[in-house]
Amino acid sequence: MTHPTENQKYLVSWDQLHRDCRSLTKQIIAMDRKWDGIIAITRGGMIPAAIIARELGIRLVDTISVRTYSHQQISEPVILNDVSATQDGENFLLIDDLVDTGKTAKFVRERLPKAFFATVYAKPEGKPLVDAFITEVSQDTWIYFPWDLALDYVKPLSKTADE
């Protein structure tokens, strides 16, 4: 992927992520189902899964480790560590931060076909593969999550503003 332009960036703060995870949890609560546990897709799904687990009172949180990105390039998914809490995902929430092209989503859906798949953010290509999400962004937008960012000084736009 090429570096995104200013209009293709979506910066997510810790506060925004927390609000969005709580909104996603409200959608899940409205389903009025009992869940046996949560499966976080690592690494991006770990923090949303922890927030959702807390909000739902779920203590069983497992992970499935899938690598799809390498240096902002999308590659074929590979399981680095498989889930152990369930065979097919029945009565489990499957949580990730984002569904992008759908490669990871399709790969994990095949592994856990009965899980309810929820992501915080979704892009058009991957959106049909998840059961719930909060915010949709365009396919060419790169989402910067709070764990990818650091607070830093930004120069004013005007060249004379620093004088």
Instruction: Confirm whether 14 is domain-assigned.
Output: yes
Q: Is 147 known as a binding-site position?
A: no
Instruction: Confirm whether 75 is domain-assigned.
Output: yes
Instruction: Confirm whether 143 is domain-assigned.
Output: yes
In the set 82, 100, 148, 162, the catalytic residue is 100
Confidence of residue 152 (pLDDT cuts 50, 70, 90): confident
d(CA 121, CA 135): 5
Q: Annotated catalytic, 97?
A: yes
pLDDT tens digits, 113-147: 999 999 999 999 999 999 999 999 999 999 999 99
pLDDT tens digits, 13-54: 999 999 999 999 999 999 999 999 999 999 999 999 999 999
Q: Report the CATH number at residue 18.
A: 3.40.50.2020
Instruction: Confirm whether 20 is domain-assigned.
Output: yes
Instruction: Confirm whether 162 is domain-assigned.
Output: no
Total domain count, the chain: 1
Domain that holds residue 97: 6-148
Instruction: Confirm whether 141 is domain-assigned.
Output: yes
Q: Annotated catalytic, 36?
A: no
